[in-house]
């Protein structure tokens, strides 16, 4: 039945049937946001989606994209204004014929896709995310730009421009990695003035500026679970502890855990409230950046995305939509 979903998605907006009610035993849709240099149509990403559907049958999977062209979507991981990209995703998901009628969705973010999903939650969150899982994401930013593959000339060209120009308006409005770069004062570990003034994305969604956005904290605290996975041998993300919102002094190597930082103590984005209700999980997995196998993914799907068990319940919450569309096709 799942192979009919592209056709169904096109037809559902024209149906006039009664809205479908959802059973608590039905799996929520899963939205996935890929990382730097990847695209929404990549085979590897879809194998993750297939595994999610095998683990929790009936799951509808949506791969977030900035452009319908896979090549352009890949380019958008390097080039683009993150404020505009997140807004585009907010509008895309809110208007999707299946996602927009869901009572909520689960979300899976790989590398930079993790903090972008958090931006979606904080800024719009419709449909609302129930459980967020991120792998190797840069929630507290990066202190160094990652290396590129030996043949990835697009990456090499733009990373070269980033160095030395991070805080220019041109770079902050066009080059994606610069928009989650975070520079700090070496002695205090606090963010420096340039970052606070010119950061187009991270300083905002981390509520680090003097004027706080209360909606950001409210939306993030509304999650049931937020699980942050750190790769033990990650040498791509510097510092890797950024995946847990930790602050690392690169000179001394000292790491200040999230719970000892102001962003948590003063609850700038709702992490403390989420933690106090048992919704914040710090996880580690072996290997380097994005070194993922089926075992860890299946565990995530079973732990965070599986619906409550109910005997004899097999149909997905959106199966009623499929039946309604089928009836209309038969009348054509």
- Each residue's pLDDT tens digit in the chain (332 positions)? 333 443 333 333 333 333 444 455 689 999 999 999 999 999 999 999 999 999 999 999 999 999 999 999 999 999 999 999 999 999 999 999 999 999 999 999 999 999 999 999 999 999 999 999 999 999 999 998 877 666 677 667 767 777 778 999 999 999 999 999 999 887 667 889 999 999 999 999 999 999 999 999 999 999 999 999 999 999 999 999 999 999 998 888 889 999 999 999 999 999 999 999 999 999 999 999 999 999 999 999 999 999 977 544 444 555 555 444 444 434 44
Q: Is position 154 within any domain?
A: no
Question: Is-catalytic flag, 319?
Answer: no
Q: Is position 127 within any domain?
A: yes
Question: Is-catalytic flag, 34?
Answer: no
Q: Is position 310 within any domain?
A: yes
The CA distance from 263 to 247, in Å, is 11
Nearest to 77 by CA among 48, 45, 125: 45
Check if the beta carbon of residue 3 is closer than 8 Å to that of residue 321. no
Sign of CA dihedral 143, 132, 108, 12: negative
Q: Is position 312 within any domain?
A: yes
Q: Is position 75 within any domain?
A: yes
Q: Is position 177 within any domain?
A: no
Length of the chain: 332
Catalytic-role residue among 26, 96, 111, 199: 111
Check if the beta carbon of residue 130 is closer than 8 Å to that of residue 105. yes
CATH of the domain at 131: 3.40.50.1820
The count of domains in the chain is 1
Q: Is position 299 within any domain?
A: yes
CA angle, 63 then 68 then 69, to 5°: 115
How many CB atoms are closer than 10 A to CB 150? Answer: 7
Domain span at residue 44 reads: 28-139+214-321
Catalytic-role residue among 26, 73, 204, 234: 234
Q: Is position 183 within any domain?
A: no
Catalytic-role residue among 199, 204, 289, 316: 289
């Amino acid at each position: 039945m799942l192979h009919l979903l592209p056709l169904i998605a096109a037809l559902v907006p024209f149906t006039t049937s009664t809205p479908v009610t959802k059973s608590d035993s039905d799996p929520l849709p899963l939205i996935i946001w890929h990382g730097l240099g990847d695209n929404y149509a990549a085979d590897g990403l879809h194998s993750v989606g297939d595994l999610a559907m095998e683990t929790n049958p009936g799951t509808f999977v949506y791969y977030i994209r900035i452009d319908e062209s896979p090549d352009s979507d890949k380019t958008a991981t390097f080039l683009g204004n993150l404020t505009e990209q997140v807004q585009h995703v907010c509008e895309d998901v809110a208007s999707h014929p299946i996602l927009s009628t869901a009572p909520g969705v689960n979300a899976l973010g790989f590398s930079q896709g993790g903090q972008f999903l958090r931006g979606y939650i904080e800024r719009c969150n419709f449909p609302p995310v129930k459980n967020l899982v991120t792998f190797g994401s840069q929630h507290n930013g990066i202190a160094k730009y990652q290396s590129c593959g030996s043949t990835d000339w697009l990456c090499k060209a733009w990373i070269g421009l980033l160095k030395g120009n991070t805080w220019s308006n041109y770079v902050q409005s066009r080059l994606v990695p610069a928009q989650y770069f975070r520079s700090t004062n070496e002695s205090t570990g606090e963010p420096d003035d340039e970052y606070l003034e010119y950061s187009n994305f991270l300083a905002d969604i981390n509520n680090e500026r003097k004027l706080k956005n209360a909606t950001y904290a409210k939306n993030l605290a509304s999650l049931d679970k937020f699980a942050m996975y750190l790769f033990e041998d990650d040498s791509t993300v510097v510092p890797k502890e950024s995946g847990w919102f930790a602050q690392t002094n690169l000179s001394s190597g000292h790491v200040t855990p999230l719970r000892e930082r102001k962003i948590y103590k003063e609850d700038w984005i709702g992490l403390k409230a989420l933690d106090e209700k048992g919704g914040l999980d710090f996880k580690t997995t072996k290997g380097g950046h994005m070194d993922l196998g089926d075992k860890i993914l299946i565990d995530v799907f079973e732990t965070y995305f599986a619906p409550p068990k109910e005997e004899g319940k097999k149909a997905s919450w959106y199966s009623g939509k499929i039946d309604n569309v089928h009836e209309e096709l038969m009348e054509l």
